[in-house]
């Protein structure tokens, strides 16, 4: 079999850079990233990957080749912040998805879309709980419709609270585990959004990438969840870190739970192999470096 051309949108981000890193290890792959560097970073560039800077909404002008598959990870991906960032959410997620789907339709390639597990949160009410959640749920529906209307091969994955190297550690878009690590390193209290009993299934980046590769190669259709079956409240995670805790007021869009749906991904041979408890212990022994 000849060389495969693979395009990763958001390839300079946390998850995207790890995916590019894994894909480029296979010498048969030519790997490209399209990223607008909103939350991505040039520090995450991987040797051997071709980087294209720009928005997915201009994909047809920026990408001048036909990929075998597009991993579409490059969307706005924060829940609570999306209320303040609604114009960005619309531009990156709604205008972006139309351009990406038109691109894959014209080029006849498979799309793997990174949906959001928020759509399964709080008994199915999560899909409209925030601007972010609504765009992701409606984008998922549009991907499925394009599959029906235009016979586009697609697979839709759902990540559950990813953690590991290259997470954003500081500022408005920091993720929880990285934020807690940074606060412990600086001797600061851990901040928890009330009530603190919201449950999350924290999933290591290596397990996420294993799932993405499997689904990219062999998965078709919806509901390829990639998440650890271990569920912890935010308070329990803070207790594992062992720091002092400061409770913050409740925030709009903060779901209490999400159903983890991994049966279809497991049918391809995937299993979560890493535990958040072990990871925190390891970080503690490394003094949060």
Domain coordinates of the chain in residue numbers?
Answer: 4-162+203-228+258-273
Mean pLDDT over residues 79-101, rounded?
Answer: 96
Which residue has tokens 């609604």?
Answer: 86
pLDDT of residue 127: 72
255 band by pLDDT with thresholds 50, 70 and 90:
confident
Cα–Cα distance, 87 to 15 (Å, whole number): 23
Distance (Å) of CA 203 to CA 104, 192, 208: 29, 19, 7
Half-sphere exposure of 262 (CA within 13 A, CB side): 21
Give domain 4-162+203-228+258-273's CATH number out of 1.10.287.110, 3.30.230.10, 3.40.50.720, 2.40.440.10.
3.40.50.720
For residue 159, which of 197, 199, 209 has the smallest C-alpha distance?
A: 209
126 or 163, higher pLDDT: 163
Q: Crossing angle, helix 234-241 and helix 276-285, to 10 degrees? A: 30
Distance (Å) of CA 266 to CA 16, 62, 162: 22, 36, 18
pTM for the full predicted model: 0.95
Tens digits of residue pLDDT in 100-157: 999 999 999 999 999 998 877 654 555 778 999 999 999 999 999 999 999 999 999 9
Cα–Cα distance, 70 to 101 (Å, whole number): 10
Identify any residues that bridge with 33 across adjacent strands, giving them in sequence order. 8, 51
pLDDT of residue 126: 59
Min mean pLDDT across 36-40, 122-126, 215-219 is at 122-126
Burial 253-268 (b: 16+ CB within 10 A, else e): bbbebbbbbbebbbee
Tens digits of residue pLDDT in 182-192: 999 999 999 99
Instruction: Kindly report the length of the chain.
Output: 289
Helix, strand and coil percent figures for the chain, each rounded to 5: 45, 20, 35
Checking if the pLDDT of 175 tops 90, the result is yes
pLDDT of residue 47: 98
């Amino acid at each position: 079999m000849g060389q495969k051309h693979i395009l990763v949108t958001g390839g300079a981000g946390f998850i995207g850079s790890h995916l590019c890193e894994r894909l480029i290890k296979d010498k048969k792959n030519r790997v490209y990233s399209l990223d607008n560097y909103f939350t991505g970073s040039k520090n995450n560039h991987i040797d051997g990957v071709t980087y294209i800077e720009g928005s997915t909404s201009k994909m047809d002008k920026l990408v001048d080749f036909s990929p075998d598959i597009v991993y579409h990870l490059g969307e706005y991906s924060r829940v609570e912040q999306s209320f303040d960032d609604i114009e960005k959410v619309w531009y990156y997620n709604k205008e972006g998805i139309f351009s990406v789907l038109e691109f894959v339709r014209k080029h006849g390639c498979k799309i793997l879309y990174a949906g959001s597990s928020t759509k399964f949160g709080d008994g199915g009410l999560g899909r409209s709980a925030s601007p972010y959640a609504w765009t992701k749920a409606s984008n998922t529906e549009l991907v499925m419709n394009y599959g029906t209307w235009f016979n586009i091969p697609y697979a839709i994955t759902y990540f559950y609270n990813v953690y590991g190297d290259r997470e954003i550690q500081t500022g408005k878009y920091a993720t929880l585990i990285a934020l807690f690590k940074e606060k412990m390193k600086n001797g600061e209290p851990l901040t928890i959004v009330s009530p603190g009993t919201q449950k999350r299934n924290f999933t290591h980046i290596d397990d996420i990438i294993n799932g993405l590769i499997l689904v990219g190669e062999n998965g078709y259709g919806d509901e390829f969840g990639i998440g650890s079956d271990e569920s912890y409240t935010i308070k329990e995670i803070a207790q594992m870190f062992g720091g002092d805790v400061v409770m913050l007021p409740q925030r709009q869009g903060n779901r209490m739970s999400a159903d983890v749906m991994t049966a279809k991904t497991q049918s391809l041979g995937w299993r979560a192999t890493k535990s958040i408890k072990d990871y925190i212990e390891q970080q503690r022994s490394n003094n949060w470096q």
